[in-house]
Amino acid sequence: MKRVLMGSFLAVVLFGFSAQAADKKIERLFNSKCSACHGKDGKGQTEKGKKMAVRDMASPEFQKGTDEDFKKAILEGFKAEKDGVKQEMDSFKEDLKGPDVDAMIKYMREFKK
């Protein structure tokens, strides 16, 4: 019985560390690839973000976007013009793969809190 309990305890602890490590990895990726424009808080109040009129990721308007919209922008990049201001984002399909894209979207959704 002790072995079963100890095994269960270790599984929970290791899963917690694994999930925490994954979250930290995505946070590091966001900070290295996205924060220059979007800011570490996702509000877009950086020099580059202001210049391109980057949307606030915490805003209800931004958060209405679908996961598919976000996935497309992350993997294919984004180009638009808003009020005469060019908005461009590079593709990150070489930097983010599969589960990391989904985790990045989840991370972006956390800004609304």
What 8-state DSSP symbol labels residue 112?
A: G
pTM of the model: 0.76
Contact yes or no for 58/43 (Cβ under 8 A): yes
| Residue 82 β-bridge partners | 85
> Where exactly are the structural domains of the chain?
2-112
Say how far apart CA 22 and CA 18 lie, in whole Å: 6
For domain 2-112, say whether CATH 3.10.129.10 is its number.
Answer: no
Supply the DSSP string of 74-111, one letter for each residue. HHH-EEEEETTEEEEE---TTT--HHHHHHHHHHHHGG
Kindly report, residue by residue over 34-66, the tens digit of the pLDDT.
999 999 999 999 999 999 999 999 999 999 999
10-residue mean pLDDT profile of the chain (113 residues): values are 48 48 86 95 96 95 96 95 91 91 95 83
